[in-house]
Structure 1
């Protein structure tokens, strides 16, 4: 089977736990790309922190970012917005009030920028790890522009309680709340997910779902894995994510993406 479009989650899938690419994985991805497949990074990251990964792979092209809320074309001329699922800051005001009261760190994102109201050393280290330079403002509610993602960052047990509380109270209203990692909760448009973004991109390139491969590791990857003709989970995924996949490859620390591409593409 020739897969014309290969969607790769980044953190926990393409990168190892040190947030690095291995040379073998880089070479394998380039080989698959040179054979004619579109390589699309499909990530919760913003465009600015995804482009360096694309450049390290020696590629340029389309990226699905912010967990499917934003699709961007990146090349030597810069970054161009192709599509976004946005919503109003008014839609998250009850949640903003709640996290401010509880002292939980948060940020809000437009397609190309991230805004925060405070920055401690713990948060600074996290943003540095993900190559993010957020803009510090007094009150994000006064930005006066649509946003594509509202993210909480805290310890797993804190977010477990938030997730339960907000679900019971439906505090997110018509928006969508997902756990994008143990330390993160994302609130986005109900239409925004990696699967919908990947489906739209494949259609624009006249590529059928059975010609798409997607590799991921977490719950925010389920929709793209379900859309793809072949959805693969890396071995470090939660058990129910692995059960939902068509196949399981080695972990992100064991070059799972490399092994999957060799097996199914080369």
Structure 2
């Protein structure tokens, strides 16, 4: 059966908790419908909090040669391996975020630089020598996570979100999947009204609100569902395939 593109030209997909199931796999159903979308002329864009290297493996599985958004919009790629724009997180802010993490020995933390990913077990020797993109905290004790969040909300110059209820993700102020999507639209010549954005976490909210159609996964955080125009199935129920069938393509 041949499918045609409906009114939407760009499909922006979060990866973890959205395109990927709970085993971090792309279901064959999701993969099949992404292929149908691409064949119908829809630009499918990975839009993720992941760094480029770990996002690339997913994009390659789907055979996509389209724009990518990584580290929550800190990097925009024209296509895999071709960088369009990168926005760095100030070194002093990274040092301050790291110092805060060290005050909570039980909290896991990590940070993306342009060269590597560092974490609690393997931190950068010379913080000033790296070009930083994003900092994150992970803690299942939401009271402790809340203390950290309360502290960093008093600081200036930070964009604060999450990719799960148990983490905090920090980018430079003004950097989000939404601002990155606006740039991708300029690159390919479409309007934000022609974009469908799908996601499950707070780092997806700005894009969901800014897009022509914002869709929350069935497993999304409640705040994301409230911001969305529609709610699809969970990441275990091929929710992305459902979005493509219902809104992106027509027979």
Common topology (TM > 0.5)? yes
Rounded Cα–Cα distance in structure 2 between residues aligned with 1:148 and 1:40: 20
- Kindly state the Cα deviation for residue 149 of structure 1 after the two structures are TM-superposed: 0.5
Q: Which residue of 2 aligns with 1:221?
A: 204
For residues 222-244 of structure 1, give each alpha carbon's deviation from its aligned partner in whole angstroms, at most 9, with x where no partner exists: 11111110111111112221121
Q: Which residue of 2 aligns with 1:128?
A: none
Is 1:210 aligned with 2:193?
yes
CA-based RMSD: 1.7
Cα 1:13–1:195 change in 2 (3 A) is same
The alignment's TM-score, normalised by the length of structure 2, stands at 0.90
Q: 1:15-34 maps to which residues of 2 (within 5 A)? A: 15-34=20-39
Rounded Cα–Cα distance in structure 2 between residues aligned with 1:251 and 1:138: 37
Choose the corresponding residue for 1:149, options 116, 127, 134: 134
- Check conservation: 1:84, 1:111, Cα contact below 8 A: no
Cα 1:139–1:112 change in 2 (3 A) is closer
Rounded Cα–Cα distance in structure 2 between residues aligned with 1:24 and 1:262: 11
Q: Which residue of 2 aligns with 1:115?
A: 118
Residue correspondences, number? 242
Rounded Cα–Cα distance in structure 1 between residues aligned with 2:9 and 2:48: 19
- Kindly state the Cα deviation for residue 155 of structure 1 after the two structures are TM-superposed: 1.9
- Large movers: runs of 4+ above 6 Å: none
Rounded Cα–Cα distance in structure 2 between residues aligned with 1:138 and 1:175: 21
Q: Which residue of 1 aligns with 2:85?
A: 83
Rounded Cα–Cα distance in structure 2 between residues aligned with 1:87 and 1:16: 30
Structure 1: runs of 5 or more not aligned: 120-135
- Check conservation: 2:97, 2:135, Cα contact below 8 A: no
For residues 67-90 of structure 1, give each alpha carbon's deviation from its aligned partner in whole angstroms, at most 9, with x where no partner exists: 111112444xxx122111212211
Choose the corresponding residue for 2:76, options 68, 71, 74: 71
Structure 2: runs of 5 or more not aligned: 1-5
Cα 1:105–1:207 change in 2 (3 A) is same
For residues 33-71 of structure 1, give each alpha carbon's deviation from its aligned partner in whole angstroms, at most 9, with x where no partner exists: 011010000000001001111111122222100011111
Rounded Cα–Cα distance in structure 2 between residues aligned with 1:56 and 1:138: 31
Is 1:262 aligned with 2:245?
yes
- Match of 2:41, SS? coil
For residues 104-142 of structure 1, give each alpha carbon's deviation from its aligned partner in whole angstroms, at most 9, with x where no partner exists: 3322212352123x42xxxxxxxxxxxxxxxx345352x
Rounded Cα–Cα distance in structure 2 between residues aligned with 1:47 and 1:138: 19
- Kindly state the Cα deviation for residue 3 of structure 1 after the two structures are TM-superposed: 1.2
- Check conservation: 1:156, 1:182, Cα contact below 8 A: no
Rounded Cα–Cα distance in structure 2 between residues aligned with 1:265 and 1:27: 14
